Chains A and B, each alone.
Chain A
């Protein structure tokens, strides 16, 4: 059985949450890129006020899912509702109004390289509100203090390490006090100390600001340690969902391989390819 031909098992479904408690509702989502199916009728719900983790192997479409929820990409089919609004039917203006209430932490940080750290965080505030400079300064410094980088306010993004850039991007993502924040691989490139701080910071931000957090990550242990709910996706489908405890108890070989980091299982390390010996011999004949 190859990874491509293997069909993931049906998800172990927990009862569907009440409609009002759902902030993001994805129904029948289909999305393809370059003839490769990324999502094939995906359904999932993100509950308000909770930390929800989306996990899955590389190429499973986790970042793509965040971009679809943020309206950066359009689905081929299906519906994505955020706070009751169907993303696909919103005008550009309505979409921008919604995005003001959504923060996103990009994997690369996506900091504006011609602005220093302070101005990067002040940027969304300057764009959307007319605040006195003194108020703006306090707000920015408070956000920077929260991520431990107040002392780096005057540095340029090119002077920051990857981990620091991610923390500045986090401060910028929460600058507008959004109702939801989407984290795209927030732990990648963090040293153990920063990783621990960031893990607790995401949880604290979520609880203190009554935000909803959507967390995409490969780091299973750290992610499950703060998540209220987790989804495991692969091959365009939902494999498993539940609380971290339910995921830990899940016996499906798919889930066990991913959660325990096993080298062999339903998901193969090798991309589908013809037999190695046959390939080598045919190369030699050429």
Chain B
């Protein structure tokens, strides 16, 4: 009993300490954002690394998710004679939920793990200490551009995911299953609301981009500087990043679309 309490206390203290360190790191990174105005190239490099290099996986995933939505949506809607509403269903599902969430999960797996491994290895090979000794703040110089790069890349990737997904749904619904093309597009145009659907989707992806990148950078910066330490940190990035996205999605959905 005492041991269980001690373990619980130890876990609670560790969690609090980790939260504190991650918050301090976040404050440091946010403080470093102003210095990036003089060095926009650092951010562009990270947008390339986090965003552009994730395009392939986002496009392919978006296409298949859209195709599956088109297929499943058609089967359900045609039972009620509402197959013409397929465009709305596909677009709303993608723009509101699947675009931001799935692209964030993909980025957590592809770019998040890469960020953690990169920062962790920089720590292990003393590159971060080397920067410190050159009077260069590694948090501002290395981490802040990555945070901003992830934050800006995510809505673009989510938009791309949704756009490709709609095309996938169109290909299956209109091209293969015979839904009317005009109804597909016109119902979508009439029903998808700019502020309710598009803006909320963008807000979601901005939040997910920020949180996923923050978790990835913190795990790398806080990693035990050994091979096992980096391996565990990379795993934590994907697990914690994905769970955070899903949990935040519920909260944001409740706030945005609740009565």
In-complex Cβ contact of B132 among A99, A112, A113, A128 (8 A): A99
In-complex Cβ contact of A99 among B122, B126, B133, B141 (8 A): B133
Distance in angstroms between the alpha carbons of A104 and B130 in the assembled complex? 8
A-B contact count (CB 8 A): 51
A85-125: CB near B (< 8 Å → 1, else 0) gives 00000001000110110111011101111000000000110
A179 to chain B, nearest CB (A): 13
Distance in angstroms between the alpha carbons of A127 and B38 in the assembled complex? 12
Distance in angstroms between the alpha carbons of A106 and B122 in the assembled complex? 13
A162-182: CB near B (< 8 Å → 1, else 0) gives 000000000010001000000
Best-surrounded residue of B131, B134, B137 (most CB of chain A within 10 A)? B134
Check if B127 sits within 8 Å of A112, measured CB to CB: yes
Check if B136 sits within 8 Å of A110, measured CB to CB: no
Check if B125 sits within 8 Å of A104, measured CB to CB: no
Distance in angstroms between the alpha carbons of A108 and B130 in the assembled complex? 10
B131 cross-chain contacts in A, Cβ below 8 A: 112
A266 to chain B, nearest CB (A): 32
What is the number of residues of chain B that contact chain A, defined by CB distance less than 8 Å? 14
B141 to chain A, nearest CB (A): 8
Q: Does B129 contact A (CB under 8 A)?
A: yes
Distance in angstroms between the alpha carbons of A104 and B135 in the assembled complex? 11
Cross-chain pairs A/B with CB under 8 angstroms, 23 sampled: A67-B129, A70-B133, A72-B129, A72-B132, A96-B137, A97-B135, A102-B133, A106-B126, A106-B133, A107-B126, A108-B125, A108-B126, A110-B125, A110-B127, A110-B129, A112-B127, A112-B131, A124-B135, A127-B134, A127-B135, A127-B136, A128-B135, A172-B134
Which size bracket describes the interface of A in this complex? 20 to 34
Distance in angstroms between the alpha carbons of A108 and B121 in the assembled complex? 12
